[in-house]
Amino acid sequence: MSNLSQRKAFTLIEILVVIGIIALLAAILFPILSRARERARSTNCMSNQKQIALSLIQYTQDNGRRFPPANDPDPDAETDGWAARLNLVGQIFQCPSEEQDATDGYTDYWMNSDLLGLSDVRVRYPSNTILIADGDAGPTGYNLAAEADATSVPPIQAWDPEASYTKRHFDGANYAFADGHVKWLKSSNIDTECIASSDNFAFRIRSQDPKPTDCP
């Protein structure tokens, strides 16, 4: 009777087998959970860009159909970028996958400088023209173009297809377009060879129709 009441202890081999099973399950589940967390962050980022893009489109409708004039020709003026100049600050300008907080006047999203101050009626293909996209937690003057412009106030930086921000979400990034929709793309899908001229603007999706006839 006393022998039956005694608890049987696990052997060392049994304990090692259990530990091995737990380690195997962890090795399988951790990457899945990590991808699920990044998927959620990417979805949150897309939501941020969607709201910002719609706000910018609303801005054009309330301000003579022109995009924000984030550049200032006065060299003595404050070098505010598009977000600070519009007094747009807050968590919505923070990409969840970017580690540095987007504090007041800063944003993780760059704006297509080719559209600054431009009338939206000149954008012939809004669904193919990038408005804002994933970037670094840049300074207030965070506007990018296919080519850099150091004479601009604030200076305009060149978009870099090899930068880390172009691979932030599953080796790609989120891009909001001038019609308000947001899409995940790899940097190889972005065409910067067609520099803004006339009614044709850089940062369009490569090999997508319709496209301007004066584009290569």
pTM for this predicted structure = 0.74
Q: Give pLDDT tens digits for 146-179.
A: 667 777 766 777 788 898 889 999 899 999 999 9
Q: Is the pLDDT of residue 24 over 70?
A: yes
Q: Taking the CB of residue 55, how many other CB atoms lie within 10 A of it?
A: 13
Q: Give pLDDT tens digits for 30-68.
A: 776 677 787 889 999 999 999 999 989 998 989 899 888
Q: Give pLDDT tens digits for 71-81.
A: 555 544 555 56
Q: Taking the CB of residue 114, how many other CB atoms lie within 10 A of it?
A: 23
Q: Is the pLDDT of residue 196 over 50?
A: no
Q: Is the pLDDT of residue 190 over 90?
A: no
Q: Is the pLDDT of residue 102 over 80?
A: no
Rounded Cα distance between 73 and 127, Å, is 30
Of 19-23, 55-59, 82-86, 200-204, give the lowest mean pLDDT range. 200-204
Residue of 49, 82, 68, 60 whose CA lies nearest to 154: 82
Rounded Cα distance between 120 and 124, Å, is 8
Pairing of strands 182-185, 173-177: antiparallel
What pLDDT is attached to residue 212? Answer: 47
Exposed (0-12), middle (13-18) or buried (19+): which is 25, by Cβ within 10 Å? Answer: exposed
Rounded mean pLDDT, 103-109: 66
